[in-house]
Structure 1
Amino acid sequence: TLLSFAEMERDMIIERTQAGKIFARQHNPNYKEGRPKRKKDSRNMAIFEYSNSHTVKEAAEAFNISPRTVQYIKKLFR
């Protein structure tokens, strides 16, 4: 039925994903899974310095980012 077809399709997706990861590990020496780490670049440094003299909300509005991102950047530079 439809449920068994959906399960089979999901299993095929998982197999293809795993095969792709294995291929990437073998052919890319810099392969890393997951989201890349945030960098301590000049923009993030500017956000950090601005947030030291302003509220998190003001910094978020000034740089057009979310307040949570400002908090994360502040944590990154501590």
Structure 2
Amino acid sequence: MPRKVKDPITGKLSRQDRSAWTNYRRELEANGTIGMSTTEEQLLHYRREAVLKRRMAHKARIQKEMERLEGLEA
């Protein structure tokens, strides 16, 4: 089972996660991947995908910054 997308306390997506989902959904609609016949389950899958992509990109940015700072210390 994929990681849960919602915040465990509030049960809602964060503002950044909602923004990532909106942008990804628009991209999928533009290229015809999703449309009127897309099921709720498929949309949930795409939403999880969008949020996980955003979180992975965020982790990568943090890692890059840490490496840069370690390089300055040496």
State whether TM-score is above 0.5.
no
Q: TM-score range by the shorter chain?
A: 0.3 to 0.5
**TM-score where L is the length of structure 1:** 0.35
| Greater helix proportion | 1
**TM-score where L is the length of structure 2:** 0.37
**Structure (1 or 2) with the larger CA radius of gyration:** 1
